[in-house]
Amino acid sequence: MYKNILVPVTIADDRDLKPVLQLAQVLAEPGATITLLHVLEQIPVHALSFLPADHMAKRRMEVEAKLADLAEGVPGGTSLVVGGHASRAILDHAKEAGSDCIIIASHQPGMQDLLLGSTAAKVVRHAICSVHVVR
């Protein structure tokens, strides 16, 4: 049972977050905090010139609203949106917040994952707390 669970999530229509959120609730002890974290990856500078000036601000507001809605349905749930590189931001937040467990979803690995590594794989290798991977 865990007191401070971090659940990195991707806000995408094709992602089924139910298994991850259910596992977080099962593993949470009474009164635990479950933080849903979304990392907004940085857009390369050369690509920003093709986007409206307020694109990132609007995107952040959209993600914050969706994440807050998700967190409302989770006992002890809170939401947080940060910027940066996904695996590094997840690991940094887990350390700063004193998370005792990270529950992360993973896709079926492909050839590109053998060469590059996925976010989940990086989190598993470098986290200082327990990590549960859900497929």
Distances in Å between the Cα of 90 and the Cα atoms of 34, 99, 123 are 14, 10, 7
Strand partners, 2: 28
The pLDDT value recorded for residue 111 is: 52
The pLDDT value recorded for residue 116 is: 43
Q: β-strands 28-40, 2-8: how paired?
A: parallel
Model confidence at 50, in pLDDT bands (50, 70, 90)? confident
- Does the structure show a pLDDT above 50 at 123? yes
What residues have CB less than 8 Å from 17, skipping those under 6 apart? Answer: 9, 70, 105
Distances in Å between the Cα of 122 and the Cα atoms of 76, 111, 117, 119, 125 are 27, 16, 7, 5, 5
The pLDDT value recorded for residue 34 is: 98
Which CATH superfamily is 2-134 part of?
A: HUPs (3.40.50.620)
pTM, full prediction:
0.90
Q: What is the pLDDT of residues 70-84, one digit of tens each?
A: 999 999 999 999 999
